[in-house]
């Protein structure tokens, strides 16, 4: 008889793994072997994860005309297929099975597949994907292929498609195909409605004249040439490059004073001298020209106020020529 329908409404679903001998997959499946149709699998969830060889499928392996595959319908916020995971709707002899996916994100990695392939004389099924972002990496394929009949139809409506593109045949890359082994005239159709489906869009060609890094590094002198770098005191490099340099030099204002300020100060000094007259005559400072020993036995440097002969100072300025 016909297989029954599977309807799942849960928060999150994860289907993962296969048996140790690799013969049995973890799966959600509506399957029929005889001359009867398989029914539908309908899933509504927040996050669907299928990984490590697991699968969700509708399939009919019978050879009669009634061996029709059902439809696989998934509505989720995100669909993640990883590690040879599979979403499939396959038939051997009857009419096609379909896959409908509605999700904000569909991520396919590591040889995962979404397929409506048909064996024998069956026609490839249809795949309809509505998503914001479709990412297929590591030889993950979306296929609606057929053997001895027409390929199916693939319709993708997305804001962005990355890592995959339409190709006539399967390749080691991630592909979108709807081919037939009977030739191109029996191939199905692939319709992609995405403004950012071209991986090369927005790219520009870079110059191929590579820069030799050896030309960017200055060759310094060897250690035998006696190179030196000396930093002394706080006036050189800061101890911590992330902090400001803290110098010890005091700031002195050496700006010239305005003329009217100097004149006002001169007038003020003149008025002060007039009110308090003092003897402005001061003794001229004379450089010591001899030394004596005083009564305490201490050597003192003294200067004669009256010199009989010109005295030549011991200090010679740098501009004097000897």
Percent of the chain whose pLDDT exceeds 90? 34
Residue 245 is encoded by which pair of tokens? 């340099």
**CB of 2 closer than 8 Å to CB of 36:** yes
Tens of pLDDT along 111-150? Answer: 999 998 877 777 778 999 999 999 999 999 999 888 888 8
Mean of the per-residue pLDDT values for the chain?
Answer: 77
Range with top average pLDDT, 104-108, 181-185, 214-218: 104-108
Q: CA 126, CA 155: separation in Å to the nearest integer? A: 8
pLDDT of residue 139: 94
- pLDDT score of 104: 96
pLDDT over threshold 80, residue 163: yes
The pLDDT score that the predictor gives to residue 79 is 97
pLDDT-derived band at 263 (thresholds 50, 70, 90) equals low
107 DSSP β-pair partners: 80, 135
Q: How far is CA 296 from CA 40, 123, 290, 300, 314, in A?
A: 126, 131, 18, 11, 27
pTM listed for this prediction: 0.60
pLDDT beyond 80 at 171:
yes
- How far does Cα 30 stand from its chain's mean position? 43
Mean pLDDT of 209-227: 64
- Condensed to tens digits (0 to 9), the pLDDT of residues 51-100 reads 999 999 888 776 656 667 788 999 999 999 999 999 998 776 666 678 99
Angstrom distance (rounded) from CA 107 to CA 50: 11
Give burial (CB, 10 Å; 0-12/13-18/19+) of 190. buried
Element containing residue 28 per DSSP (H, E): strand 27-32
Place of tokens 């595959």: 69
Mean pLDDT, rounded, for 207-221: 66
- Of residues 27 and 315, the one with the higher pLDDT is 27
């Amino acid at each position: 008889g016909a297989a029954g329908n599977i309807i799942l409404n849960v928060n999150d679903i994860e289907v993962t793994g296969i048996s140790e001998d690799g013969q049995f997959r973890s799966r959600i499946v509506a399957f029929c072997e005889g001359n009867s149709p398989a029914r539908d699998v309908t899933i509504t969830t927040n996050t669907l994860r299928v990984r490590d060889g697991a699968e969700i499928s509708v399939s009919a392996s019978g050879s009669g005309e009634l061996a029709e595959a059902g439809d696989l319908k998934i509505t989720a916020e995100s669909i993640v297929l990883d590690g040879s995971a599979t979403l499939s709707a396959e038939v051997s002899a009857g009419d096609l099975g379909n896959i409908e996916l509605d999700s904000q994100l569909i991520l396919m990695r590591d040889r995962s597949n979404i397929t409506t392939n048909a064996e024998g004389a069956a026609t490839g099924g249809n795949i309809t994907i509505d998503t914001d972002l479709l990412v297929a990496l590591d030889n993950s394929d979306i296929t609606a292929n057929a053997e001895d009949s027409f390929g199916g139809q693939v319709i993708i409506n997305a804001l962005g498609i990355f890592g995959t593109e339409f190709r006539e045949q399967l390749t080691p890359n991630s592909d979108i195909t709807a081919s037939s082994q009977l030739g191109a005239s029996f191939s199905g159709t692939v319709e992609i409605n995405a403004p950012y489906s071209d991986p090369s869009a927005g790219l520009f060609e870079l110059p191929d004249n590579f820069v030799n890094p050896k030309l960017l590094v200055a060759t310094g002198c060897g250690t035998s040439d006696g190179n030196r770098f000396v930093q002394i005191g706080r006036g050189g490099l800061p101890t911590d490059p992330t902090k400001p340099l803290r110098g010890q030099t005091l700031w002195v204002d050496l700006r010239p004073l305005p003329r009217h300020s100097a004149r006002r100060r001169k007038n003020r000094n003149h008025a002060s001298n007039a009110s308090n007259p003092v003897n402005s005559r001061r003794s001229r400072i004379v450089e010591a020209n001899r030394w004596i020993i005083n009564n305490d036995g201490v050597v003192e440097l003294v200067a004669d106020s009256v010199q009989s002969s010109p005295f030549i100072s011991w200090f010679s300025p740098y501009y004097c020529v000897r």
